[in-house]
């Protein structure tokens, strides 16, 4: 285990089971639809690639990048779109893929923006949900696992852009971030 990790919260094996289970549900729900899977960069990359490969349907994939956290451990509340998707989403059933739903501000911003582009539907799948931290009225349609209010990294989630490539979700030791 990485020396900066206090405890593993979701193992590699559990992450695989979660991706397969959610993909099965999505495969059933989106049969016959014009599915567009949109990964929210950068945090969702590993979950996105695992999940999408288990979805047994024809689909388009794309990516959107938003940023809110900066270098700290809490959100600044300001959402910036760094990379966008198509302006016209007519006919598409859009599925947004997130790594974590925290305050909900990022997802709310993206969902509202996409809703104006005339998609057939918009839904959200998140690997991790931290309901205790929610600040805006938003929910995910598909949730991998609820996590406690701890600083989690790995499998796409970062602290100061590091730890994304850990193959598990772990709780970061407080000493790593407490002086920031």
Of the two residues 73 and 120, which places its CB atom closer to ligand PRP in the complex?
Answer: 73
Of the two residues 36 and 64, which places its CB atom closer to ligand PRP in the complex?
Answer: 64
Of the two residues 76 and 118, which places its CB atom closer to ligand PRP in the complex?
Answer: 76
Contact code string over 113-152 relative to ligand PRP, x by CB under 6 A: ----------------------------------------
CA distance readout (Å), 126 to 48, 100, 148, 176, 177: 10, 6, 15, 26, 25
Subset of 32-61 contacting ligand PRP (CB under 6 A): 40-43
- Residue 104 binds ligand PRP, judged by CB under 6 A: yes
Q: Judge whether 62 counts as a catalytic residue.
A: no
Q: Provide the pairing of β-strand 142-146 with 121-129.
A: parallel
Query: Considering only residues 30, 51, 105, 155, which one is a binding residue for ligand PRP as defined by CB under 6 A?
Result: 105
Query: Considering only residues 99, 129, 152, 176, which one is a binding residue for ligand PRP as defined by CB under 6 A?
Result: 99
SS (H, E, C) the chain: CCCCEEEEEECHHHHHHHHHHHHHHHHHHCCCCCEEEEEEECCCHHHHHHHHHHCCCCEEEEEEEEECCCCCCCCCCCCEEEECCCCCCECCEEEEEEEEECCCHHHHHHHHHHHCCCECEEEEEEEEECHHHCCCCCCCCEEEEECCCCCEEECCECECCECCCCCCEEEECHHHHCCC
**Piece in contact with ligand PRP (CB under 6 A), picked from 31-39, 47-55, 99-107, 113-121:** 99-107
Of the two residues 33 and 141, which places its CB atom closer to ligand PRP in the complex?
Answer: 141
- Residue 98 binds ligand PRP, judged by CB under 6 A: yes
**Piece in contact with ligand PRP (CB under 6 A), picked from 30-38, 66-74, 142-150, 167-175:** 66-74
Catalytic residues: 102
């Amino acid at each position: 285990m990485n020396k900066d990790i206090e405890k593993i919260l979701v193992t590699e094996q559990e992450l695989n089971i979660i991706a397969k289970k959610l993909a099965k549900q999505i495969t059933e729900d989106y049969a016959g639809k014009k599915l567009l899977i949109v990964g929210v960069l950068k945090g969702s990359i590993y979950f996105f690639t695992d999940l999408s490969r288990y979805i047994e349907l024809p689909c388009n994939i794309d990516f959107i990048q938003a940023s809110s956290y900066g270098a700290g451990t809490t959100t600044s509340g300001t959402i910036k779109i760094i990379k966008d998707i198509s302006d016209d989403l007519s006919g598409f059933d859009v599925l947004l893929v997130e790594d974590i739903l925290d305050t909900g501000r990022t997802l709310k911003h993206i969902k509202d923006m996409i809703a104006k582009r005339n998609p057939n539907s918009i839904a959200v799948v998140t690997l991790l949900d931290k309901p205790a931290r929610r600040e805006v009225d938003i929910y995910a349609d598909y949730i991998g696992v609820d996590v406690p209010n701890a600083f989690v990294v790995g499998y796409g989630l970062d602290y100061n852009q590091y730890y994304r490539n850990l193959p598990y979700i772990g709780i970061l030791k407080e000493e790593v971030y407490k002086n920031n």
